[in-house]
């Protein structure tokens, strides 16, 4: 089993997001802007993931990062965890930009949710039968079913424009790019899989 250096990168990411939040998100130029906006810069594909729009936004993202990120990092090691997290962040950002380009939407995107969706997928793949108990879902549900249900809900919300001002396709992009990384590392759907 890979050894994790202390402190784990997942806690470092949480700390960085909290510091940026306390600094009032530092700058709107760090948010992810559509390419046609005139405000887009390549580094935004990473920096947007450290910005959050309110207390609920940062709390739930950081809680999920702590809940899923720590065990994943412990299982796969810090180096792989950071690679995975960054690919999910950038992948979610690319997906969001493409969707905005296709729909003509014009607003900045912020938040770690795309990377968190990638982590949720990895958790569901690594520990599919682990039961997750969430506040808004007061019954335990296996991780594999939770991932599938949540992904399906995000797709429906994105296609119907329900729950506007949430980057549903960025969430799905993080999930998709996370799946691509796991595939290159040897995971296949339906297989019992460990690093």
Q: Is the pLDDT of residue 89 over 60?
A: yes
The answer as to whether 122 is a domain residue is yes
Provide the domain limits for residue 30: 9-184
Mean of the per-residue pLDDT values of the chain: 90
The answer as to whether 3 is a domain residue is no
Amino acid 132: pLDDT: 87
pLDDT band at 190 (very low <50, low <70, confident <90, very high): low
**How many domains are there within the chain?**
1
Q: Can you tell me the distance from the alpha carbon of 35 to that of 93, in angstroms, rounded to the nearest whole number?
A: 11
3 state DSSP class of 76? helix
The answer as to whether 2 is a domain residue is no
For residue 118, what are the CA distances in angstroms to 37, 91, 175?
27, 10, 4
Q: Is the pLDDT of residue 147 over 70?
A: yes
The answer as to whether 1 is a domain residue is no
The answer as to whether 191 is a domain residue is no
Burial track 1-13 (b if 16+ CB lie within 10 A, e otherwise):
eeebeeebbbeeb
Residue 41, class by beta-carbon neighbours within 10 Å (0-12 exposed, 13-18 middle, 19+ buried)? exposed
Residue 103: which CATH number? 1.20.1540.10
Amino acid 137: pLDDT: 65
């Amino acid at each position: 089993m890979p050894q994790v250096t202390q402190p784990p990168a997942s806690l470092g990411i949480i700390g960085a997001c909290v510091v940026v939040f306390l600094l009032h998100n530092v700058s709107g130029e760090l948010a992810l802007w559509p390419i046609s906006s005139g405000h887009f810069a390549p580094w935004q594909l990473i920096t947007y993931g450290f910005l959050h729009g309110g207390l609920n936004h940062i709390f739930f993202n950081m809680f999920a990062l702590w809940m899923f990120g720590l065990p994943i990092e412990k299982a796969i090691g810090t180096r792989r965890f950071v690679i995975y997290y960054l690919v999910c962040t950038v992948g979610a950002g690319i997906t969001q930009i493409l969707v905005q380009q296709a729909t003509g939407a014009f607003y900045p995107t912020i938040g770690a949710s795309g990377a968190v969706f990638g982590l949720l997928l990895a958790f569901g793949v690594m520990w599919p039968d682990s039961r997750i108990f969430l506040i808004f879902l007061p019954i335990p549900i296996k991780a594999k079913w939770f991932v599938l249900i949540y992904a399906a809900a995000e797709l429906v919300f994105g296609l119907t424009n329900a729950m506007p001002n949430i980057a549903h396709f960025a969430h799905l992009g993080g999930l998709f790019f996370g799946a691509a990384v796991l595939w290159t590392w040897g995971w296949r759907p339906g297989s019992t899989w460990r690093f």
